[in-house]
Amino acid sequence: MGQVNTSSSWQKAKVVNTVQIASKIKEVALELPEKFTFTPGQYIKAKIHIGDQNIERYYSVSAAIGDNILKIAVEKIKGGILSDFIHKLKIGETIAVKGPAGKHFILNRPNSLFISGGIGIAPFMSIDEKVAESSLFLASFRLMKEIPWSEKLGCCDNVKLFVTREKNLTTSNHGGFIPRRMNIADIKDAVLKLGAAGVSIYICGSTSFVESIKTEIADAELTELEVFTEMFG
């Protein structure tokens, strides 16, 4: 991946594609006027004007294509201003973006454990292949229809998908999906598989998801781990 670009000016990004990748998630491809380089884990800022107000929100880069196209995956939040705006964007329309930014959640360490809740999986989709192949992923969702990139994720041996609220998902028909909440035993098992010592754990998702997983890890007194977190709000 390229070096960190510290671009700090707003640019007009043109929507070149939008795909509904889960019931509430759209992946939007944005073309920038300038070369875009980022490190997995970084995010961009998006801005719109409503009346005399500037509304600004952060979105993790889920992929980059060529020199100047980046992808973000946006969950539509009920009553949410910017997520709703982005979901309504059509190909050819523009939105102001700035970045990339973010230096504390850099996903470049091999032998890592990546834990996500819901749309918190977005930054993990940008991880370099070499890092991904040596790592394990535990991803939690509420319903099957809420899983983005489900075809790709469902057939990766190093990805475990937990589905917590799907009524008819039983052990006989889940086909690779685990019909329960992720727990500390799953995390311990993954750390052990990765070799215990020197494992980095990255947790991303809503504040409540990240806090609860972080607390469970702290209570389990897993040693020699470095834990990094990104909270989406």
Ligand X SMILES: Cc1cc2nc3c(=O)[nH]c(=O)nc-3n(C[C@H](O)[C@H](O)[C@H](O)COP(=O)(O)OP(=O)(O)OC[C@H]3O[C@@H](n4cnc5c(N)ncnc54)[C@H](O)[C@@H]3O)c2cc1C
* Helix (H) or strand (E) run with residue 189 in it: helix 184-194
Interface with ligand X includes 43 (CB under 6 A)?
yes
Nearest by Cα to 232 from 121, 142, 154: 121
Q: Cβ neighbours of residue 65 under 8 Å, at least 6 residues apart?
A: 29, 71
Q: Which stretch binds ligand X (CB under 6 A): 76-84, 143-151, 171-179, 184-192?
A: 76-84
Residue number, nearest CB to ligand X = 80
**And the tokens for 54?**
């500037």
Sites for ligand X among residues 166-225 (CB under 6 A) = 206
CA pair distance 140, 87, nearest whole angstrom: 23
To ligand X, the closest distance from the beta carbon of 1 in angstroms equals 17
100/225 with CB nearer ligand X: 100
78/167 with CB nearer ligand X: 78
**And the tokens for 175?**
């086909």
Interface with ligand X includes 36 (CB under 6 A)?
no
- Contact status, residue 138 vs residue 190, Cβ threshold 8 Å: yes
Interface with ligand X includes 82 (CB under 6 A)?
yes
19/81 with CB nearer ligand X: 81
Sites for ligand X among residues 94-113 (CB under 6 A) = none
Using DSSP, state whether 173 is helix, strand or coil: coil
Q: For binding to ligand X (CB under 6 A), which residues are involved? A: 43, 57-60, 72-75, 77, 79-84, 119, 122, 206, 230, 232-233
